[in-house]
């Protein structure tokens, strides 16, 4: 923190200005240095390595050999890859609805002037902060077919218990349930922030014009909230496509299947299994780039579609 001597004041303006500018560049460089080093070493370098590895036969150890597009061809002819893709798609599509619609409903209620808003907001947020692995293990027992409380409730309602974690046809539903339970509070808080950004004069003007509450919701809230809705949909989709913790903590078995008959296997768990249990690092890298391309494409499509329904002020 070198202090400039007061005598520096009478120096001619242009020189002083450029000296100041250069000093600013140096300061900026110093402040950005940790970040620049971090990005270079722990982001750009691995990114490059990953791209290279995806064209090689890299194993856990040893030198990789270039094998062209074989890894990508292999993925596209591998039934397990298609299984994981299908699971990821189905999981993402359902979760996109199940974790956002209730979140919006709760946010609309909590945006009202009612007692206990902050209490309920905190309650809905608790699953968001709790460790994914911790709560997922907990759900492993809540969903147990014999002694789980979920099936206890289902029996009380007079239905047959559901083999959530033991039958392949219920595996994905269980992942959706736990993931949505954990995500609703997060999405609700974002919706709530969006709702609070809608100017109340709009509603006052509309009700003076005789608009019903339903009309106000439809013609003021929905369009004014559309940028927030768009953000929630984009981030939820990106998170869903990369889901790892919930399926693995919920379904990993001794034989390294994820859920019964791999029914909970999504892309990232498959990638992890190929790379670190199968030792096929080249193949796993190709899977990673396929996932990256899919995420980019879907995000791009969402941005394209958003022009039709998202209204920015």
Partner 1 sequence: MASLILRRPWERALAYLILSVTGFIMVFPFIYMVLSSLKPSTEVVQVPPTLWPSEVRWSNYLEVLNIVPLGTQLINTVIVTVLVVLGWVVTSVLAGYAFARLEFPGREFLFGAYLATLMVPFAVLIVPMYRLMLVFGWVDRLEALIIPWLFTAYGTFLLRQFFLSVPKDLEDAALIDGASHWGILFRIFLPLARPAIATLATFAFLYAWNSFLWPLIIISSPSRKVVTQGLIDLQALYAARVDLIMAGSTLAVLPTLIVFLFAQRYFIEGIATSGLAGR
- CB of residue 54 vs partner 1: minimum separation in angstroms? 9
Restricting to residues 53-82, which ones interact with partner 1 according to CB under 8 A? 53
- The nearer residue to partner 1, 14 or 312, going by C-beta atoms, is 312
Q: Are the C-beta atoms of 184 and 99 separated by less than 8 Å?
A: yes
Binder among 11, 17, 18, 42 for partner 1 (CB under 8 A): 42
- CB of residue 189 vs partner 1: minimum separation in angstroms? 5
- CB of residue 263 vs partner 1: minimum separation in angstroms? 19
- The nearer residue to partner 1, 168 or 227, going by C-beta atoms, is 227
Q: What angle separates helix 45-53 from helix 281-309, to the nearest 10 degrees?
A: 110
138 binds partner 1 (CB under 8 A): yes
SS (H, E, C) the chain: CCCCCHHHCCCCHHHHHHHHHHHHHHHHHHHHHHHHHHHHHHHHHHHHHHHHHCCECCCCCCCCCECCCHHHHHHHCCHHHHHHHHHHHHHHHHHHHHCCHHHHHHHHHHCCCCCCHHHHHHHHHHHHHCCHHHHHHHHHHHCCCCCCHHHHHHHHCCCCCCCCCCCHHHHHHHHHHHHHHHHHHHHHHHHHHHHHCCCHHHHHHHHHCCCCHHHHHHHHHHHHHHHHHHHHHHHHHHHHHCCCHHHHHHHECCCCCECHHHCCCCHHHHHHHHHHCCCCHHHHHHHHHHHHHHHHHHHHHHHHHHHHHCCCC
Binder among 190, 240, 258, 264 for partner 1 (CB under 8 A): 190
200 binds partner 1 (CB under 8 A): yes
307 binds partner 1 (CB under 8 A): no
Binder among 11, 19, 27, 80 for partner 1 (CB under 8 A): 27
168 binds partner 1 (CB under 8 A): no
Binder among 112, 158, 255, 307 for partner 1 (CB under 8 A): 112
- CB of residue 120 vs partner 1: minimum separation in angstroms? 5
125 binds partner 1 (CB under 8 A): yes
User: 208: which 2 tokens?
Assistant: 């003076």
166 binds partner 1 (CB under 8 A): no
35 binds partner 1 (CB under 8 A): yes
Binding mask 281-300 for partner 1 (x = CB under 8 A): x--xx-xxx-xx--xx--x-
Could you tell me which stretch among 74-82, 165-173, 194-202, 256-264 binds partner 1 (CB under 8 A)?
Answer: 194-202
Binder among 244, 261, 278, 298 for partner 1 (CB under 8 A): 244
Binder among 11, 17, 93, 122 for partner 1 (CB under 8 A): 122
Distance CA 302, CA 287 (A): 22
Using CB under 8 A as the binding criterion, the count of chain residues that bind partner 1 stands at 121
- The nearer residue to partner 1, 134 or 210, going by C-beta atoms, is 134
């Amino acid at each position: 923190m070198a202090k400039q001597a007061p005598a520096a004041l009478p120096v001619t303006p242009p020189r002083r200005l450029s000296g100041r500018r250069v000093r600013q560049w140096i300061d900026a460089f110093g402040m950005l240095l940790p970040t620049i080093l971090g990005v270079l070493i722990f982001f750009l370098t691995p990114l490059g390595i990953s791209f290279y590895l995806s064209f090689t036969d890299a194993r856990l150890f040893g030198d990789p050999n270039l094998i062209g597009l074989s890894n990508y061809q292999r993925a596209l002819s591998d039934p397990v890859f298609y299984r994981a893709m299908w699971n990821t798609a189905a999981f993402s599509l359902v979760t996109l609805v199940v974790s956002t619609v209730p979140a919006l409903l709760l946010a609309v209620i909590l945006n009202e002037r009612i007692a206990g808003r902050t209490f309920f907001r905190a309650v809905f947020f608790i699953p968001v902060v709790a460790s994914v692995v911790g709560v997922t293990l907990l759900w492993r027992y809540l969903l147990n077919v014999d002694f789980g409380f979920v099936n206890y409730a289902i029996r009380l309602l007079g239905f047959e218990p559901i083999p959530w974690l033991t039958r392949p046809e219920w595996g994905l539903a269980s992942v959706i349930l736990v993931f949505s339970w954990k995500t609703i509070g997060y999405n609700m808080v974002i919706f709530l922030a969006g709702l609070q950004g809608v100017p109340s004069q709009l509603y006052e003007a509309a009700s003076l014009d005789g608009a019903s509450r339903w009309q106000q919701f439809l013609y003021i809230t929905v369009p004014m909230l559309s940028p927030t809705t768009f953000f929630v949909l984009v981030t939820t989709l990106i998170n869903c496509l990369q889901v790892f913790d919930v399926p693995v903590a919920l379904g990993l078995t001794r034989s390294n299947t994820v859920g019964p008959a791999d029914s909970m296997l999504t892309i990232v768990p498959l990638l992890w299994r190929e790379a670190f249990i199968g030792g096929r690092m080249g193949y796993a890298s190709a899977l990673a780039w396929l996932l990256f391309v899919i995420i980019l494409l879907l995000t791009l499509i969402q941005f394209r579609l958003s022009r039709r329904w998202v209204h920015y002020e």
